[in-house]
Structure formats: structure tokens, C-alpha cells
Chain A
């Protein structure tokens, strides 16, 4: 059976938007294989996700609901995902913190090949080919997977979220596969969420990102600008490492990858690993006091100047535009 299995990301009673990007991948892949796609959701209250997932055009929504799946841990989720995945040609999740933790473990359980963070799926003679960034986005590799089940994660910014189809998929319960010894040797202790009222970084239409140059004034300067634009806030690695902002704001090769309509790089010089996380943005604006900063080479609009003056002025004028 050449069908595709999407592993939904479901946390705190909500289906994460990352799931919709994985569904978009599944639609293309299933069409190329001449098969269908189903969605698997796991959790202690996974049933809550069914209504929303059933709108996404899947052949089936599979529900693994069990008290043992309360807080996500790869060790407890992977056995059930692997068991269900045995009947599928491809298993996919988004390359989020969830997908990148879980799917390689699933691949291990299936002795399957794993292609990470893919940006495009192609088909050649009925075989799927996966395009994925390497070397901080300075090369793309097109690969095939030689195993009975193929395991992939998809880059969220490269697959637009799937829209509801208007139909309602049937749902069915699936059993929980027995966990290995590993599950008994890991304990979920606590989750400290960073307070964030802004749009999700990976999903925002506008991103305002700051670098080391902002120093302790990171939020003081960027919060009002982001408010004026309705933007998410991102950061360079240097800003995160220096503790000027929360680490989960990091945009780059090893942080979040974003591709918004408009990206502001404020006081960011443009290290290779940062560019890897944002250079697919539609319009890039950079503000930097160094006119030779590498960021200008990939920016649509560059403004050489003192960000401590430019940012407040920009914020004020954007507010005025918004106020009409």
C-alpha cells in the first residue's frame, strides 16, 4: 500500500499549525504514489483533536488515546507511531522540535531511512525524491530512501498550511504499542513556557529580528516595532547567546527557519548560519551601522545607520501609517 501517514503535533489541547504543513506534503506525496494519506494523533486526550483533523481531507484520522501518552516523550510515542507506520510507504511530521525529536527515533524502530527538513517532494518514475537543504542552505541534496517505510520531516516554511477540504474524514481508534525499557527510564519533569503573546515565529507574516548590537535594549527597541507591524520577534544566535533575548527566538541553521513576507534584520551582521534561517523570506530589510555587513548582500532594502535612532523613528512612522 503506497499511502502516507502524517503524525499530527497535538499539545495543550491544540493541533499545532505544523501539522497542516505536513498534510500539504502528504497531499503531494500521496498523489505521486497514487495512494491516500491518513493522520495519526497521539495523546492522553487525542480524541479532542479529531474534529479539526477530520477536515483536512485524510482517508482516516487515527486516534491513539491513552493515559501513558499524557506529556509527549519520544520514548512513549515512538513505539505506537512505528507500529502504525508499518502499513504505510511514507511517514511524515513537520521538522519542529516535536518532529525532529520523534521521527528519527521512529526511523530507528523501523530500520528505515530518514530525510530531515525537506523543502520539496518530487517524483521520478513513481519513486519519491526529497529535496533538502544542507551546508546551512548553501546546497540542496535530492535524495531517495531505500527502505520499506520512508521517514521524513518537512520544513514548515516550505509547505503552506493545508486548508480544509469541506469533507469530513472518518476516525478510528488505534491500540497503543508496548513501550520498551527506555520509556521506564525517562521522566517528564516540567515545561517552562516562554511567555509570548506574539504570532508564532515560524508562521508570522512579518518578522522583526535583532542581533547582538541591540544589547540589553533588545526588547525595549524591538517590542514596539513588532507591535506596530503585528510581527513575531526573532534573533541572531549572538543575541541569544549573550542572553539579550530568549533562546527560542533564534533564527538560523540550528534554530528556527522562517520565510515571512517581510523580514527586518536589525543590527544583524549576517553570519552564514543566520542566513540559513531567513534567506527564503520574500522581502528582507536590514538596518546596520556597518555598510559592508554581509546581510546587505541578501537584503532587498538596506539602511546604513545607528539602529538606536533608526528603530524608534521607524516605529513611530509605522504607527502613523497604521493610524492612517
Chain B
């Protein structure tokens, strides 16, 4: 199986409350925040690696994982770390973050799919900076492929995947045949969420994503990393234009109450919420 995984770097989501909006509202200033891989994209990579090994050993590979990211030279850090974690090959699409919107990324990925011919394009369900949750679904439509969005479990079958999707009120199971687009949700990295046809049914992964061992970080420097220009993949214009940004309304800390009686008194008589 060949899997193309799209990766995005984002400003440290654990410090997202430190982003600043300048008085003119011209941007979201993330200065001072470290770049981190988008957590959902990390899960997509982990999922792709699980699907291309037998579980027992990550050295016995039965497929190829190609990672792609969009951005300036610095995003190669994200790609190298994905290569160290286990991806086989990387592609960087040269552009600035400002040039992009979800539509353009999906267009460019669709073009890349023509040459890469993966069985699956695997993405995080959303990037936690833009919070749009869109690229996988747009891409699936552009390719006329089935989409398995918000996947929480995956079972590889002979020519496709059985996917448990987390939807409102429960879990919806669908079956997609290759090639397909999958976007992953949080629970996809639970120990028993992903099984390839080679994985023993009793096998349990460690919870969460794997980390690159030190020798792999050295070896990753030798793995292929190609660069393409955005114009090679699409000449479309973005469809979304931000005209300004605003800070959210501030919420003040209230009061601490001493006990349950004091709380109920406040809720009843001050907040009138009971």
C-alpha cells in the first residue's frame, strides 16, 4: 500500500492563548510560539505507518509512506522529523503560508496524486490553527474518490478499508475501496484502532504516536526530500481572503466560593441560573 500523508506545522497549540492581534487587526501574530507539527497530522502519519507494517516490527514494511508539506524552507524540519519517525520519502511544496487556503492545498494535492498514485491520502481532520476541517473532503471531491472523514478506527481489507467514523451521537462504519481519502480523528492512535492485513488481531500498539529513535534521526538526513513549486501544481487563486482579525471577547475570572451552599446561593440569587 502506498500512502501520501499531508503534514502542516502550526504555532504551538498548547500556547494558542498567547497569540496576539495587533491593533490594526492585520494578522494573527504567533511570534514567540514554537512551530509544532499539527497534532492531527502526527496522528495521520502514525496511522499510515501502522497500515504499512505488521505491528510486531516496524522494520518489516509492506508499503510506502510519502509525506508532503507546504511552506518555506523551514518546513523541512517537519518533514525530516516525519522521515525519522518512519516515512520513506518527503516532498516540500515551496510557497508562503499567506499564499494558501484549503482549496488551493486540495488542488495542489490532487495534482500531486496524479504522479504519486497513492492508494490512500491520509490527513489530519483539521489543522489546529485555521480550524477549518476541509482539505480532505475537498480533495476527495476533486479526485472523485470516496472520503472517510473523522476516522477513529481503520481495518485494512483486501481492496479497501473498513472505517469507524466518529459522528454526532455515535460511530458510523463505512467501507471505502482504494484509492480513498482518509482524515483522522483523535482516537485513531488508541492501541487497537488500526489494523493492516498483516497485523495480528491480538496486537496492541502503544497509545499515541511513536517517537523517532536517535539513529533514525541520523538516517533521515539521507532519505529523499524533493521540492516542487506551488505553480507546478496549481495556478488557481485562493478562494478565501481574510480582511481582518479580532481578539475574542475577554472573560474575567469570577469569584471562588467556600462551599456548596455558597455556590448554590450565588447561582440562585446572583447569577439567577437555577
Give A contacts to B, CB under 8 Å.
73-75, 78, 96-98, 100-102, 104-109, 111-117, 124, 129, 131-147, 180-183, 185-194, 196, 237, 240-241, 247-248, 250, 253-254, 261-262, 272-273, 275, 279, 282-285, 291, 296-305, 310, 313-314, 317-318, 321
- Find the A residue at minimum CB distance from B261: A317
Select one of A141, A193, A318 contacting B242, CB under 8 A: A141
Question: A139-B246, A248-B169 are known contacts. Are A107 and B103 too (CB-CB below 8 A)?
Answer: yes
Give B contacts to A, CB under 8 Å.
11, 13-17, 19, 21, 28, 40, 101-103, 106, 125-126, 128-142, 144-147, 149-150, 152, 160, 162, 166-177, 180, 185-187, 190, 236-248, 251, 253-261, 263-264, 266-268, 271, 273-274
Q: Are A297 and B253 within 8 A (Cβ)?
A: yes
Select one of A100, A109, A146 contacting B133, CB under 8 A: A100
CA distance A305 to B245 in the complex (A): 39
Write 16 A-B pairs (CB below 8 A) sorted by A numbering.
Answer: A97-B150, A101-B150, A104-B102, A117-B133, A135-B19, A140-B247, A143-B243, A145-B241, A186-B175, A188-B174, A191-B172, A192-B170, A248-B169, A296-B253, A301-B255, A303-B263
CA distance A129 to B243 in the complex (A): 8
Question: A140-B248, A301-B254 are known contacts. Are A134 and B28 too (CB-CB below 8 A)?
Answer: yes
- Find the B residue at minimum CB distance from A205: B273
Q: Are B147 and A75 within 8 A (Cβ)?
A: yes
Majority SS of interface residues in chain A? Answer: mixed
CA distance A186 to B106 in the complex (A): 21
| B272 CB to nearest A CB, Å | 9
Enumerate chain A residues within 8 angstroms of B144, measured Cβ to Cβ: 180-182
Majority SS of interface residues in chain B? Answer: mixed
Enumerate chain B residues within 8 angstroms of A297, measured Cβ to Cβ: 253
Question: A116-B134, A141-B28 are known contacts. Are A73 and B174 too (CB-CB below 8 A)?
Answer: yes
CA distance A108 to B267 in the complex (A): 48
| A251 CB to nearest B CB, Å | 13
Q: Are A104 and B255 within 8 A (Cβ)?
A: no
Q: Are A114 and B263 within 8 A (Cβ)?
A: no
CA distance A105 to B271 in the complex (A): 43
Enumerate chain B residues within 8 angstroms of A302, measured Cβ to Cβ: 253-257
CA distance A41 to B169 in the complex (A): 20
Question: A135-B11, A248-B168, A248-B170 are known contacts. Are A141 and B175 too (CB-CB below 8 A)?
Answer: no
Question: A191-B171, A192-B173 are known contacts. Are A300 and B241 too (CB-CB below 8 A)?
Answer: no
Select one of B13, B132, B273 contacting A261, CB under 8 A: B273
Question: A98-B168, A146-B241, A247-B166 are known contacts. Are A108 and B137 too (CB-CB below 8 A)?
Answer: yes
Enumerate chain B residues within 8 angstroms of A181, measured Cβ to Cβ: 144
A-B interface contact total, Cβ < 8 Å: 280
Enumerate chain A residues within 8 angstroms of B190, measured Cβ to Cβ: 241
Enumerate chain B residues within 8 angstroms of A136, measured Cβ to Cβ: 13, 16-17, 128, 131
CA distance A273 to B129 in the complex (A): 11
| B165 CB to nearest A CB, Å | 8
Q: Are A247 and B174 within 8 A (Cβ)?
A: no
CA distance A126 to B209 in the complex (A): 48
Enumerate chain B residues within 8 angstroms of A190, measured Cβ to Cβ: 172-173
| A202 CB to nearest B CB, Å | 8
Q: Are B267 and A301 within 8 A (Cβ)?
A: yes
Enumerate chain B residues within 8 angstroms of A74, measured Cβ to Cβ: 137, 140, 147, 149
Enumerate chain A residues within 8 angstroms of B140, measured Cβ to Cβ: 74-75, 105, 108, 182
Enumerate chain A residues within 8 angstroms of B239, measured Cβ to Cβ: 111-114, 145-147
| A195 CB to nearest B CB, Å | 9
- Find the B residue at minimum CB distance from A72: B172
Question: A74-B149, A186-B174 are known contacts. Are A143 and B28 too (CB-CB below 8 A)?
Answer: no
CA distance A134 to B244 in the complex (A): 12
Greatest chain A CB density within 10 A among B168, B173, B271 is at B168
Enumerate chain A residues within 8 angstroms of B187, measured Cβ to Cβ: 240-241, 247
| A129 CB to nearest B CB, Å | 6
| A157 CB to nearest B CB, Å | 14
CA distance A115 to B243 in the complex (A): 13
**Closest 7 pairs (CB-CB, A-B):** A113-B239, A108-B141, A104-B137, A300-B254, A186-B146, A108-B138, A97-B167
| B23 CB to nearest A CB, Å | 14
CA distance A112 to B103 in the complex (A): 8
Q: Are A298 and B169 within 8 A (Cβ)?
A: no
Greatest chain B CB density within 10 A among A75, A78, A98, A284 is at A75
Enumerate chain A residues within 8 angstroms of B253, measured Cβ to Cβ: 296-299, 302
Enumerate chain A residues within 8 angstroms of B103, measured Cβ to Cβ: 107-108, 111-114
Enumerate chain B residues within 8 angstroms of A188, measured Cβ to Cβ: 172, 174
Q: Are B146 and A185 within 8 A (Cβ)?
A: yes
Enumerate chain A residues within 8 angstroms of B171, measured Cβ to Cβ: 191-192, 194
| A32 CB to nearest B CB, Å | 16
CA distance A140 to B259 in the complex (A): 37
Enumerate chain A residues within 8 angstroms of B245, measured Cβ to Cβ: 139-142
CA distance A131 to B249 in the complex (A): 13
- Find the A residue at minimum CB distance from B106: A108
- Find the B residue at minimum CB distance from A79: B141
Q: Are A133 and B248 within 8 A (Cβ)?
A: yes
Question: A108-B106, A272-B13 are known contacts. Are A144 and B241 too (CB-CB below 8 A)?
Answer: yes
Enumerate chain A residues within 8 angstroms of B146, measured Cβ to Cβ: 75, 182-183, 185-186
Q: Are A272 and B240 within 8 A (Cβ)?
A: no
